[in-house]
C-alpha cells in the first residue's frame, strides 16, 4: 500500500510513516513499501526475504508471499542466486567451462546446418538461372 494512501486512511502524517519505514529498514526488517515492484528491490531486501522464508514450509511461504505481494517462484529464484553467490571460484569456473563447451557444440551444429542450407540455396538459384537461359535459347516448351 502506498504511504500516501495509508496516511489518508490512518490519519498519520506522511513524514511519520516515512520515518518509521526508514527505521525498520535500518534494523533489517524487510519493508516492501518503497513503491518498487519486487523485481526492482535491492539485493539486501531480497536477501532479507530469503532469510525470513528459509524455515517456512510451502503453505507458510505461500501465505508470506501473499502478504508481501510476491510469488514463491521469486523467492526460490532469489534463494538460488544467494546460494550461487557463495559458490567457490572453482565451481564457478567449472560451470562456465561446461556452458562454454555446450555453446561451442551448438554453434558448430548451427554453422554446419547454415552451410548446408547455403549450398542448397545456391544450387536452387543456379538451376533457376539455367532454366531461364534455356528458355531464352530454345523458347518456351510447346505442348505435344
pLDDT, tens only, 27-39: 766 555 555 677 7
**Tens of pLDDT, residues 104-118:** 999 999 999 999 999
Check pLDDT > 50 for residue 88. Answer: yes
Output the pLDDT for position 141: 67
Residue 88 grid coordinates = 567457490
C-alpha cell at 4: 500516501
The Cα–Cα gap between 50 and 79 comes to 6
Q: pLDDT of 45-69, one tens digit each? A: 788 888 888 888 989 988 888 888 8
Instruction: Give the residue, 39 or 133, on which the prediction is more confident.
Output: 133
Amino acid at each position: 500500500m502506498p504511504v500516501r494512501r495509508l496516511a489518508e486512511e490512518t490519519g498519520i502524517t506522511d513524514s511519520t510513516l516515512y520515518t518509521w519505514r526508514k527505521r525498520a529498514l535500518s534494523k533489517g526488517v524487510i519493508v516492501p513499501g518503497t513503491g518498487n515492484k519486487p523485481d526492482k528491490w535491492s539485493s539486501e531486501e531480497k536477501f532479507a526475504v530469503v532469510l525470513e522464508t528459509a524455515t517456512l514450509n510451502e503453505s507458510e511461504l505461500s501465505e508470506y508471499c501473499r502478504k508481501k505481494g510476491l510469488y514463491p517462484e521469486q523467492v526460490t529464484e532469489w534463494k538460488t542466486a544467494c546460494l550461487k553467490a557463495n559458490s567457490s571460484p572453482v565451481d564457478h569456473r567449472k560451470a562456465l567451462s561446461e556452458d562454454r563447451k555446450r555453446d561451442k557444440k551448438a554453434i558448430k551444429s548451427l554453422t554446419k546446418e547454415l552451410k548446408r542450407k547455403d549450398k542448397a540455396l545456391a544450387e536452387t538459384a543456379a538451376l533457376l538461372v539455367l532454366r531461364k537461359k534455356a528458355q531464352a535459347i530454345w523458347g518456351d516448351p510447346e505442348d505435344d
